Amino acid sequence: MEKTPVKTTATPLRLPAALASLQPATTYLLNQLNILVPEAKFEMQLSLVLEELLVNIASYAYPEKNGELEVSCHLGSASGKQIFYLCIKDWGIAYDPTARKELKHSSETTTIENAQIGGKGLDLVHEMTNCCHYRRDKGKNIFTAGFII
At residue 50's C-alpha, the angle toward residues 28 and 36, to 5°, is 45
Q: Where are the domains of the chain?
A: 15-111+118-148
CA distance linking residue 109 with residue 120, whole number of Å: 13
Q: For 23-36, what is each residue's pLDDT tens digit?
A: 999 999 999 999 99
CATH of domain 15-111+118-148: 3.30.565.10
pTM: 0.82
Residue 102 has pLDDT above 60, yes or no: no
pLDDT at residue 3 in the model: 47
Q: Treating both helix axes as pointing N-terminal to C-terminal, what angle do 43-56 and 120-128 enclose, rounded to 10 degrees?
A: 150
CB 75 within 8 Å of CB 85: yes
DSSP helix/strand/coil, 56 = helix
Lowest mean per-residue pLDDT among 8-17, 98-107, 118-127: 98-107
